[in-house]
Copies of this chain bind each other. A is one copy, B any other.
């Protein structure tokens, strides 16, 4: 015991946060005790409320405290008949920010990773198959991360889509906008050559 029991407990509990070890936890504890007591009390309330009430959307599987999330419940989203498959809720937010997509999402909450025991059922592919079987969608956009696991997951899902006669597409890989060719890695550059498009 280095400090008083309550303070020790707080410093200990703060270490569940990602990237926070004993020293940072101590710094955080003193910081909020000295300067942000009221804010920290509201943080405590929203933490507890979020942890006990937030579950998964029954349709798209994203994190939400509602039964059906706001995007799935929006009738304008249904007319597009496009489903975009992403790995996590943060990806939904990133795509929403582009204002380029007005269909619906399906959130895997991870990717296929057989070595870690994460198979098709763990990422909700049974639920995705049901959605595809409903006939509500014409196209499936596979927007998983451009990593080995993300690619494998995308190709696995593309096969399922084929079974249900739904068109599957993969987001384009290539040179990031604003980047310089010189600094782009070889794999990205070869993707950008293979995926070249005719100008008008």
Chain A residues engaging chain B, CB cutoff 8 angstroms:
1-7, 9-10, 13-14, 16-18, 26-34, 36-54, 63-66, 69-70, 88-90, 93, 96-97, 109
Pick the contact of A6: B10, B36, B37, B54 (CB < 8 A): B54
Given contacts A7-B50, A13-B46, 17 further A-B contacts (CB under 8 A): A2-B93, A2-B97, A4-B54, A4-B64, A4-B70, A6-B65, A9-B50, A10-B50, A16-B32, A16-B39, A17-B28, A18-B31, A29-B50, A32-B47, A33-B63, A41-B51, A44-B51
Sort A-B residue pairs by CB-CB distance and give the 8 closest, nearest first: A44-B48, A44-B47, A4-B64, A13-B43, A16-B39, A10-B50, A44-B44, A2-B93
A4-B64, A6-B54, A30-B89 are contacts. A41–B49 as well, Cβ < 8 Å? Answer: no
Number of copies: 2
Closest beta carbon of chain B to A46's beta carbon, Å:
5
A10-B47, A26-B90 are contacts. A32–B17 as well, Cβ < 8 Å? Answer: yes
Q: Give the docked Cα–Cα distance between A6 and B6 (Å).
A: 27
A4 nearest CB neighbor, chain B only: B64
* B42 and A13 within 8 A (CB): yes
Interchain Cβ contacts under 8 Å between A and B, 10 examples: A1-B70, A2-B97, A4-B63, A9-B49, A10-B50, A13-B46, A18-B31, A30-B63, A32-B47, A33-B51
Q: Give the docked Cα–Cα distance between A26 and B97 (Å).
A: 15
Closest beta carbon of chain B to A74's beta carbon, Å:
13
Closest beta carbon of chain B to A100's beta carbon, Å:
16
Q: Give the docked Cα–Cα distance between A192 and B31 (Å).
A: 33
